[in-house]
Amino acid sequence: MTEFHKIYDIKTVSEYSEIQSYSAFQPIKVGDYSISEDGNFVDCNKAKVPTLKSFNLPLDLNVGYRGEPTQYINRWEELLMWIQSSETGYHYLSEVDVVAKRGVLKDIGYSNHNFYRNPWKFEVCMYAGKLYLKELGEPQYLDEWGNKNTYWGLKFEEYVIERGTNVKATFQTLTGMIGKKKRLLSAEVDAVNDKGKFIEVKTCFEHKLASKIPQAWLQSYLGKVDLLVFGWKDRNGIVFSNPVEFPIESIAGSQVLQESDANAMLGMIGDVIDWLCTTLPKSNSRLLREAPVTSDAAQQFSVYSVDIIKEIVIPNLGVLEGNLGVPLGNFKTTTEVLQEFHLGTIGGLLGFHSQVQKDLMAQIVSSLDDDNCATRLVSCNCFNFLLKAGGKDCFGPEELHTLYVELLKRLDDSSDELRIAVTNTFSTFFSLIPEDYDREFYKAHLQALYRGLLIHLDDPNQAIQEAVYKVLETAGKIHPQYLCEHIDNVKHKHRSSLYCDKLLALFTQ
């Protein structure tokens, strides 16, 4: 007999609205950071915050649109990097109950008001007494109309926002109480106006404002944004009039958003988070579950990390010094331990030593050939994590050259999920190539990499094509001329030259 478990009872809007006023949540800014165009973390002290710029009407939001699918891949590693690199980040981590990006909280709170009933899902982890919430990190594909409207929104931002040099996005980090729990969250800021007010930029069909405003308000309120700026678009993607500003403080309680609805959205976030905190186990059996309040609180964990990795982690990864392979469950748990270290301790876990690095990477690489697809996927994700954790200090050209052959093999894997994971690992791989990389001396390696990746620009799966294209956008910067030569040699063999042509246009400007 099938056993069913009740997960969570969603209350009515009126029930949530009676729990607490939305105004009880008063987010406090505690920091900020940026993401560069090539996806790297940037301290905001070194980056210009986007501002508004002048433009001429009308705005054609279709310019550059080719009908290609838009992918959302939400990352939250940058929030953890801010916690790790910021003096205040680690301090505030000790004070909060929940760590999340704004998008998860927005989706939860908007559930009862979602006009289109769009589904959502997220990952949750209770670690060292704190609840971590993140988007799944998997691509979300839209239909043609949804894809076009998404492109219009991004194009509108391009018209009206002046971003700093090599700045893709800027984020605030905030704390505040929702329900009974204190949150630490990050929220993207579209721009700052000449009065220092934070702005969220949106497009909307004017007659659809009533269905658009609740989500836009919630997103902005959670992120401590001061003004919502809407550009009214028609169904052909043209903006004929100047954008309209809505001060966030005046929206709740007005005709466009009842105060009871504002209360209900914040109330549902608080209720769901409180429920998760009481439902998930209070403790876990993972290594160093109390790390944030023990040795690493004094930034001393790196003293012990080498022995722990060498004596505990490596022997559990599989074949080492004659030991037989361990079951998948044990292997998966062990690789998750490595990644949970980063989540739990946040600060400098892997004080890499060469002998430990070689043994650890050897075990991960060997597991990429495992017969079990789940093992290969876990190995690839762990591979990516170790590259990020070690960085350029641990992985120079010689070390990287020994690794890419295994990644290229896995691009031919039977699992598309794994192949997408491999492209993510390749992105990390190319981010570690130093600026003084000897392109001519290492030309044979570049040839192998470019040839191996270009094959998959003709993959039957368009998601793979798009993912490989993103990798080559970064990889091509190492030796643009050499990549273009290889593209010219192979593009006539591809069923579609779309991505080849895009790369040629990018690197022959």
**pLDDT on residue 48:** 67
- This prediction has a pTM of 0.57
With cut-offs at 50, 70 and 90, classify the pLDDT of residue 44: low
The residue that leads in pLDDT, 38 or 441, is 441
Helix (H) or strand (E) holding 228: strand 227-232
With cut-offs at 50, 70 and 90, classify the pLDDT of residue 335: very low
Q: Are 113 and 265 in contact (CB under 8 A)?
A: yes
The residue that leads in pLDDT, 89 or 446, is 446
- Asked whether residue 149 carries a pLDDT value surpassing 50, the answer given is yes
Strand pairing category for 181-189 and 98-101: parallel
> The tokens of 173 are what?
């980090």
**pLDDT on residue 43:** 67
- Asked whether residue 46 carries a pLDDT value surpassing 60, the answer given is no
Least confident residue range of 152-161, 194-203, 317-326: 317-326
Query: What is the mean predicted confidence (pLDDT) over 350-356?
Result: 51
- Asked whether residue 295 carries a pLDDT value surpassing 60, the answer given is no
Dist CA 443 CA 329 (whole Å): 41
Q: Are 357 and 306 in contact (CB under 8 A)?
A: no
- Within 10 angstroms of residue 284's Cβ, the number of other Cβ atoms is 15
154-200 pLDDT, tens digit per residue, is 999 999 999 877 788 888 899 999 888 999 999 998 999 989 899 99
Q: Are 387 and 422 in contact (CB under 8 A)?
A: no
Q: Are 45 and 140 in contact (CB under 8 A)?
A: no
Query: What is the mean predicted confidence (pLDDT) over 17-23?
Result: 79
Q: Are 226 and 245 in contact (CB under 8 A)?
A: no
**pLDDT on residue 242:** 93
